[in-house]
Amino acid sequence: MTTWAEVDDYFSQLIPEDDALVAAHASSSETTLPGADVTPHQGALLAMLARTLGARRVLEFGTLAGYSTIWLARAVGPDGHVDTLEIDPGNAAVARRNFDAAGVTAQVQLHLGPAAATAEWLIDTGTEPYDLVFIDADKPNNPHYLAAARQLTRPGALIIVDNVVRAGAVADPDDDTPAVLGVRRLVDDIVAAGLDATAIQTVGAKGWDGFAIIRV
C-alpha cells in the first residue's frame, strides 16, 4: 500500500526547492526540534498564499532553522520584509547561516527572545501592519500569539497556525497535554471572536496534522 510519505515524494516534482532550501531543511537536525520544520509542500503553500495575497510584510512566530522563513522571504520579494521570532540562540545561528546561503538576509530580521514579549514590543512601537502571519512556535502560547497577531495585521490579512490537529489529539477529550490545550484555547478564541476561519487536516511525510487559517 502506498504511504503518505511516498505520495509526498511523488508530488515533490511540483516543488521548486533549490540547494539552499534543501540544506536549510536538513539543518533542522542541528536545532532544538529536529524535523519540526514544515515540509517542502507546506513551505511552497505558504509562499503561494503570500504571493496570492500580494504580501509585502510577514511576521513569523518560530524560526527554528529558517526553512519556512526562506520560503516567505522569497515570496515577498526583494522589496518585502519578514520579521521572524526565535527564542533559542543556537537555532537563530543556524537560521542566519541559512538566510545567507539562500540570499534573503536583506529581507529578514530575526528577533531573538520570547515571541510573546517581542510581539508586544512590536505592538508598543507601532510597527507597520503585516499582511500575513505564520504561527509555528510553542503551542501552549497559541492563544497569546493569535491575540498579538490580530493587533499586528491589516484588514484582509491572513493568520496561519500550524500543527492544530496533532494526530487527532485535539478532538480527544481525554488528551490534556499542554500543546493540545493550547490548540483548543486557540479554537475557542477564534469562535468567541467570530473570526473568519477554517482548519485543514493534512497527511504526509510528517504524519497526520493540519493548520488553521484566519482572515482578519
The x, y and z cell numbers of residue 19, run together, are 540547494
Question: Taking the chain, what is the end-to-end CA distance rounded to the nearest angstrom?
Answer: 41
d(CA 69, CA 15): 16
Within 10 angstroms of residue 151's Cβ, the number of other Cβ atoms is: 12
Residue 80 C-beta-side C-alpha neighbours within 13 Å: 25
* Cβ atoms of residues 111 and 86 within 8 Å: yes
Instruction: Give the Cα separation of 104 and 72 in Å (integer).
Output: 10
Between helix 40-53 and helix 67-76 the angle, nearest 10°, is 30
Kindly list the structural domains of the chain, giving each domain's residue range(s) and its CATH number in brackets, ordered by start: 4-215 (3.40.50.150)
One digit per residue, the tens of pLDDT, for the chain of length 216 reads: 678 889 999 999 999 899 999 999 999 999 999 989 999 999 999 999 999 999 999 999 999 999 999 999 999 999 999 999 999 999 999 999 999 999 999 999 999 999 999 999 999 999 999 999 999 999 999 999 999 999 999 999 999 999 999 999 999 999 999 999 999 999 999 999 999 999 999 998 888 999 999 999
